[in-house]
Amino acid sequence: MSNVELNETISGYRGKIGQLVFKKYKGRTIVCRKGMISRPPTEAQLASRADFREASEFAKTVKANPALLAFYEPIARQREVTVRVVAMGDCLKKPTLKPLDLSHFKGQIGDVMEIKAVDALGLVELNVKIVAQDGTLIESGQAVEQGARSGKWIYTATAQLAPGAEVFIEVEGCNHAGNKARITEHLTVRAHA
């Protein structure tokens, strides 16, 4: 790749002129040729385009939402990209949840479970439900993140569970773009020590 000084007329330009496409990336203007399409799109390409359109629409809403704009702006400045790029990236990358760490959870009030969430910009919230086998809700609440955007969350139990009880622990997290990640684990409560 070579470095070329653009004249004043087009140095800050973004968009296309004929077969050339101008982009701004990390404070530099990048020029490349317009891509050529020779075959009809595959199903995967159509799905990818739909995801990209959704991310583009989300990025437009960020500008109108002061809370989201305040979240994404500093990240964009730090990365030397636009808020649109950061918001679209957050929308396109879905969060994931790792298997729950239940080593300190024995069904007592005050027991904790540790949850590891993976998301490039962190989750907004993480909710936990403990449900009996018959679907009855035993308890629910929000986990607390241990340090901003650390991905380490702690949930503290508020209900007593009987030894031997069979329960499902349902965890759902949501990132700033509204993407959700869910995990459900089955647990047989051990005898209280």
pLDDT at 161: 92
Is the pLDDT higher at 151 or at 13? 151
Residue 105 has pLDDT above 60, yes or no: yes
Give the model confidence (pLDDT) of 106-149 as tens digits. 999 999 999 999 998 999 999 999 999 999 999 999 999 998 88
CATH of domain 96-188: 2.60.40.1220
User: Sign (positive/negative) of CA torsion 95, 101, 104, 108?
Assistant: positive
Positions of CATH 2.60.40.1220 in the chain: 96-188
Give the model confidence (pLDDT) of 16-59 as tens digits. 777 788 877 777 777 887 777 778 989 999 999 999 999 999 99
Residue 7 has pLDDT above 80, yes or no: no
pLDDT at 193: 56
* Structure token digits, residue 184: 């459900």
pLDDT at 9: 62
pLDDT at 148: 83
pLDDT at 1: 46
pLDDT at 24: 77
Give the separation between CA 121 and CA 62, rounded to whole angstroms: 15
Mean pLDDT of the chain: 88
Rg (CA), the chain: 23
Is the pLDDT higher at 65 or at 147? 65
Average pLDDT of the segment spanning 82-103: 94
Residue 176 has pLDDT above 50, yes or no: yes
Residue 80 has pLDDT above 60, yes or no: yes
pLDDT over 70, % of the chain: 91
pLDDT at 35: 76
Residue 153 has pLDDT above 90, yes or no: yes
Q: What are phi and psi of 109, to 5 degrees?
A: -60, 130
Average pLDDT of the segment spanning 160-184: 94
What residues contact 43, with CB distance under 8 A and at least 6 apart?
none
Q: Which residues pair with 29 in a beta bridge?
A: 24
